[in-house]
Amino acid sequence: MSDSTAIAQGAAAEAGDSRHGEHPAYQRHHFESVAQQFDATNFAMWLFLLTEIMFFGGLFTAYLIMRNWYYPAFVEGSHQLSIFWGTSNTTVLIASSFTMAMGVWSAETRRKGALLLFLSLTLLFGLIFLGIKGIEWHEKWEKHHVPGIHDYSITSFLNPASDPEVHKQYPDDKPLRPDMAAKTEQYFFLYFAMTGMHALHMVIGVGILVFMIFRAKAGAYTSGHVTMVENFGLYWHFVDIIWIYLFALLYLISRHG
Amino acid sequence: MSEQHTQTGSEHHIVSPRTYVIILLALLVGTALTVTASYFELGAWHIAPGLTLFWNPVVALAIATGKAILVVLFFMHVKYSHRLTKLTVAAGIFMFLVLIGMTLTDYFTRAWGRW
């Protein structure tokens, strides 16, 4: 690795100031070295992600308990989700994780053009994901499957034939008794809570990405200071992992049985 | 102690695009596998009266965990990180499994909430 750029930048930017002459401008004074600064912020990012695991973990636990209690309602609720959109979104998010990882590589190897390209692609995939999520949510709104508001309807579950699109895919689904059909509202409550909280993380990520693209354009991440790109990458991949589990739990495991 | 010293002095590891492409392909294959598996009735294992293990969710969660491990190790660079990071991640996941495991074993072995 050639460090000539970093050294030149460190020396030139702070010329005349003896305290700054010895280290790059982006190294904070309470760190001994850039490597130590990187490790400390990286460690802090992981601690934040652990709190995020616990946060989403509560939702996952609630989902598993409710699914165990109201199993038929959760199976029927899950059959309302589109496997096509779910699979598409999983693919889009995995692609965005890949472009984010390539963005980190571009920053590490100081390729500004490539970094801008990969950050923009990550942003694009993130927006496509949110768009598809919007399509899915809109469909739930139209079918009155949003819990708590907009006249929640259990018709699809009392009489599966009244919902021809889903009935065609799952012709063997039996009608639920009214008390069990009412529990589908709990499935959709958790569906919206989990995908909504995930989407909120995506929206925050998209916002930070826009900020980073402007900073990257100014050359902020291609002079050896990769901490921001690396740690945002960790956040983005974490959000991807949450979706991998949401996809399995909400869309896939109730297709049979 | 000497271990720590060499670690702080070590160069920042850069993961190659080739590795990222391989992981991307593995994740896409994993997604295809898990969607395909969900279309098949994989049956159940009747361990004891009242205790049944359905294979569909087990397979789906196993594939999801495989994908998550690939993301953590390679995209999130844990494979190339210091021991401190590895220990932090492992401790966090272990704590999560303890919390979720204890809660679920309690809930699943009582009749609470069953109308």
**Angle, vertex CA B80, rays to CA B76 and CA B85, nearest 5:** 70
Q: CA distances (Å), A119 to each of A38, A122, A177, B95, in order? A: 21, 5, 50, 33
pLDDT, tens digit, for every residue of A107-135? 989 999 999 999 999 999 999 999 999 99
pLDDT, tens digit, for every residue of B50-104? 677 888 889 999 999 999 999 999 999 989 888 998 999 999 999 999 999 999 8
* Residue type at position B22: I
Provide the β-strand partners of residue B48. B51
**The tokens of B15 are what?**
């993961």
Q: Does residue B61 belong to the interface with chain A, where contact is any CB pair within 8 Å?
A: yes
Instruction: Tell me the helix, strand and coil percentages in chain A, rounded to 5.
Output: 75, 0, 25
**In angstroms, rounded to a whole number, what is the distance separating the alpha carbons of residues B31 and A7?**
45
CB-based burial label for B65 (10 Å; 0-12, 13-18, 19+) = middle
Task: Determine the number of helices (DSSP H) and then strands (DSSP E) in chain A.
Answer: 10, 0
CB pair distance less than 8 Å for B24 and A38: no
Q: Whose structure tokens read 């579950």?
A: A157
ipTM: 0.85
CA–CA min distance A12, chain B (Å): 24
CA–CA min distance A50, chain B (Å): 6
Residue of B27, B29, B88 best to disrupt the A interface, most CBs of A under 10 A? B27
% of residues, chain A, pLDDT over 70: 91
- The mean pLDDT value for A218-234 works out to 88
CB pair distance less than 8 Å for B103 and A83: no
Residue (of A137, A223, A230, A235) closest to A188 by Cα position: A137
pLDDT at B28: 96
**In angstroms, rounded to a whole number, what is the distance separating the alpha carbons of residues B94 and A160?**
42
Provide the β-strand partners of residue A140. none
Task: Give the global pTM.
Answer: 0.86
Q: Does residue B98 belong to the interface with chain A, where contact is any CB pair within 8 Å?
A: no
Domains and CATH numbers, chain A: 1-29 (no CATH), 31-252 (1.20.120.80)
Which of A65, A90, A244 comes nearest B68 by C-beta?
Answer: A244
Q: Whose structure tokens read 């490539």?
A: A114
pLDDT, tens digit, for every residue of A21-36? 677 777 787 888 777 8
* Residue type at position B72: V
**In angstroms, rounded to a whole number, what is the distance separating the alpha carbons of residues A169 and A173?**
9
Residue of A3, A232, A244, A255 best to disrupt the B interface, most CBs of B under 10 A? A244
* Residue type at position B42: L
Mean predicted lDDT score pLDDT of chain B:
84
- The dihedral sign for the CA sequence A145, A255, B31, B85: positive
